[in-house]
Amino acid sequence: MSTREEKLKAFGRLLDVMDDLREKCPWDAKQTNESLRPNTIEECFELCDALIRDDSREICKELGDVLLHVVFYARIGSEKGDFDIADVCNKLCDKLIFRHPHVYGDQTALQHADAGDTDGLVAVRSAADVSLNWEKIKQKEKDGNKTVLGGVPDALPSLIKAYRIQDKARNVGFDWENRQDVWDKVHEEVDELKAELEKGDKERSTREFGDFLFSLINASRLYHINPDNALEHTNRKFIRRFGYVEARAREMGRELKDMTLAEMDRLWDEAKQGES
């Protein structure tokens, strides 16, 4: 692993390369925040893909791509006279220090105070305590969230947003007392969904389907399962098994559209057995 000096030197090299590209490359010189945004989204998804595959080599590569965008936006900000990379780093450090009083503040008071004794914060004895304090501290910041759910970005994908909404509500005590009780809610929601589906009311069925999904996400959170990761693993499993079915059909000289469901099911079972 690199020394601190080597890490700082590498970051300085990245800043130098960014300066060169911005000044000497026609493509880099014409980029704006708006033009870079779609690429940034793509790079973040590529990083997430590498993370879920736990591919260290790709994670390193994709982290570099995301870091490039951070540096690029900071360079654009510097050109406008708004901020530079030092401002970005310092604001981040200031925020982290402010939100971790058990590390940088009066550690003794926070470690031993009873809940609520230290400006509404709880004594830090676990990661859960840190999360609870985190939400309270964010609302105390000058430019922080003014409401519990105010920090949930509107643009988040719906599944991830639902998880974050529920997690933030949990941090202020709005949650199931016993996680097993969530299953009563899940069954209640699926029954309501079935009833609306049978009536054929698409609008009400859509709302009930949303409620059902929300309750399932609640269950996943209570059992410490990330629903987005779980669904992505299933997506990949389906793609892998369906790819096997498609390949076997070609080997047999058949087209999927000409096969019966029973025939495809047999190939699907072959794919499952091959994974066990």
Q: What is the pLDDT of residues 161-216, one digit of tens each?
A: 999 999 989 888 899 999 999 999 999 999 999 999 999 999 999 999 999 999 99
Shared domain check, 17 and 42: yes
Residues 133 and 165 in one domain: no
The total number of structural domains in the chain stands at 4
Q: Are 136 and 120 in contact (CB under 8 A)?
A: yes
What residue has token string 């389906």? 238
For residue 77, the enclosing domain spans 4-82
Separation CA 3–CA 121 (nearest Å): 37
Instruction: Kindly give the residue spans of alpha helices, DSSP state H, lying in 99-226.
Output: 101-104, 107-112, 127-140, 158-170, 182-199, 202-222
Residues 49 and 69 in one domain: yes
Q: How far apart are CA 55 and CA 236, in angstroms?
A: 15
Does residue 206 fall inside a structural domain? yes
Give a yes or no: residue 146 inside a domain.
no
pLDDT tens-digit profile of 15-41? 999 999 999 999 999 999 999 999 999
Please tell me the distance from the alpha carbon of residue 232 to that of residue 241, in angstroms, as a whole number: 14
The reported pTM is 0.69
Question: Which structure tokens are listed for 276?
Answer: 């066990």
The answer to the question of residue 271 being in a domain is: yes
Domain membership of residue 150 (yes or no) is no
Per-residue confidence (pLDDT) for residue 275, from 0 to 100: 86
In a domain, 248, yes or no: yes
- Residue 195 is part of a domain; what is its CATH number? 1.10.287.1080
Tokens of 50: 């590498």
123 lies in the same domain as 174: no
Cβ proximity of 141 and 98 under 8 Å: yes
In-domain check, residue 93? no
Q: Are both 77 and 111 inside the same structural domain?
A: no
Residue 208 lies in a domain: yes
Q: Which residues of 87-111 are buried (b: 16+ CB within 10 A; e: fewer)?
A: ebeeeeeeeeeebbbbeeeeeeebe
Q: Are 176 and 207 found together in one domain?
A: yes
Does the residue 199 lie in any domain? Answer: yes
Among 54, 82, 110, identify where a domain stops.
Answer: 82
Burial of 217 (0-12, 13-18, 19+ CB in 10 A): buried
Cα 69 to Cα 233: distance, rounded to the nearest angstrom? 28
